[in-house]
Amino acid sequence: AIESGVAQKTITDWETYAIELDKRLGLDNQLMRVLGAKARRNPKRLVFAEADNIKILKSAQIAYDERIAYPILLGDEKTIRQMALDNSIDIDDMPIIDPRNDEYEEKRKQFGELFFKKRQRKGVNQYEATKMMKDRTYFGCMMVENGDADAVISGLTRNYADAIRPALQVIGMEEGVKKIAGMYMLLTKRGPLFLADTTVNLNPTAEELADITLLAAKEVRSFNLVPRIAMLSYSNFGSSDTPEAKLVARAKDIVKEKDPTIIIDGEMQPNIAFNQEILRDNYPFSELVDQEVNTLIFPNLAAGNIAYNLMKEIGGADAVGPILLGLKKPVHVLQLGSSVRSITNMALIAVIDAQLKCQNAGQEAAK
């Protein structure tokens, strides 16, 4: 029923939105259009965990109308239906699930058992595990883990850290990943710019920073772009002999050891990363000479988080994110109070993530 739900309308809104955005930013950025088209080629079942919020409901409608996703709405059915009616939102084809409802007792039990197996030695007892499935974030993550949905977005109405924990506990990390991280894509006049870690790890070690960089590079490649990475600090190529600057330089070396083909340099200041003249004149040895940097890696969470917010508020860039990197399955946690446009963008990112992860899982299964 979920699969057949999307009406075959001719929809051009996504393109209109992308073109308007391009005009506003004064750029010819095709990325969002390309991503929209990519999502539409293979829409996925996307759980909106806070569907009794009007912004979420509007985003679900846009995602549905634009054929980028098959929304599944979590929340109190009566509230959702009333809200849809009051706002002329057509949700007839969208399944509504209220995890607290008696109707879903069996499902809660099934999910609770699965969750208990994962967390029994982490202080969760069986009764608690089942009870926790009344929480929509846990239930939504469990739907993805259990294959009842392809992706979930949540977190609009709760603290970011509290919304990440269910994803870590239920879904966990991709093989080989030690820490998840957060990335923002900023649509700027000079094209898309990727920033990490902007949302998760407070003070990464050099090894962790290298892992964050590799996760970000992988994500940038998934958008069909070649990552050109500047590892940022307040120092340029050893100009400051401090532990913070050295940590970033060491992280760059580790990345290079792990992936010798990657285009990366640092530690460096952002103004140097974007000024070819200074770079060429003063640091002609740098790998980033004649390269257009599109990925910025920050030494810690404070720097990354402050930078993206400044670029968004003062620099006028449109921010898409936070995109969670390194989770085994597509769970994306919204920033508290995100706009309808941000939520819709994240729905798009979640669908593309799901396409990629399904494809990878298929390849693994075929081995």
Residues that bind ligand ACO (CB under 6 A): 122, 160-161, 164-165, 168, 173, 179-180, 199-201, 305, 322, 335
Which residue, 163 or 288, has its beta carbon nearer to ligand ACO?
163
What's the closest the beta carbon of residue 296 comes to ligand ACO, in angstroms?
16
Which residue, 61 or 305, has its beta carbon nearer to ligand ACO?
305
**What are the start-end ranges of the H helices in the chain?**
13-25, 31-41, 54-65, 77-86, 105-119, 126-132, 136-145, 160-170, 206-222, 243-258, 270-273, 276-282, 301-313, 340-366
Which residue, 65 or 174, has its beta carbon nearer to ligand ACO?
174
What's the closest the beta carbon of residue 76 comes to ligand ACO, in angstroms?
26
Torsion 199-318-44-338 (CA) sign: positive
At residue 213's C-alpha, the angle toward residues 233 and 152, to 5°, is 125
What's the closest the beta carbon of residue 201 comes to ligand ACO, in angstroms?
5
Which residue, 75 or 322, has its beta carbon nearer to ligand ACO?
322
Check: CB of residue 344 under 8 Å from CB of residue 63: yes
**Nearest-angstrom CA–CA distance, 241 and 237:** 10
Residue of minimal Cβ distance to ligand ACO: 161
What's the closest the beta carbon of residue 200 comes to ligand ACO, in angstroms?
5
**Nearest-angstrom CA–CA distance, 211 and 115:** 28
Q: Is the peptide bond before 267 cis (omega within 30 degrees of 0)?
A: yes
What's the closest the beta carbon of residue 47 comes to ligand ACO, in angstroms?
19
**Nearest-angstrom CA–CA distance, 301 and 12:** 38
Which residue, 21 or 177, has its beta carbon nearer to ligand ACO?
177
Which residue, 168 or 278, has its beta carbon nearer to ligand ACO?
168
What's the closest the beta carbon of residue 21 comes to ligand ACO, in angstroms?
21
Token readout for 87 is 């706002």
Q: How far apart are the first and last CA of the chain?
A: 31
Which residue, 98 or 197, has its beta carbon nearer to ligand ACO?
197
What's the closest the beta carbon of residue 213 comes to ligand ACO, in angstroms?
14
**Nearest-angstrom CA–CA distance, 44 and 68:** 7
Check: CB of residue 254 under 8 Å from CB of residue 207: yes
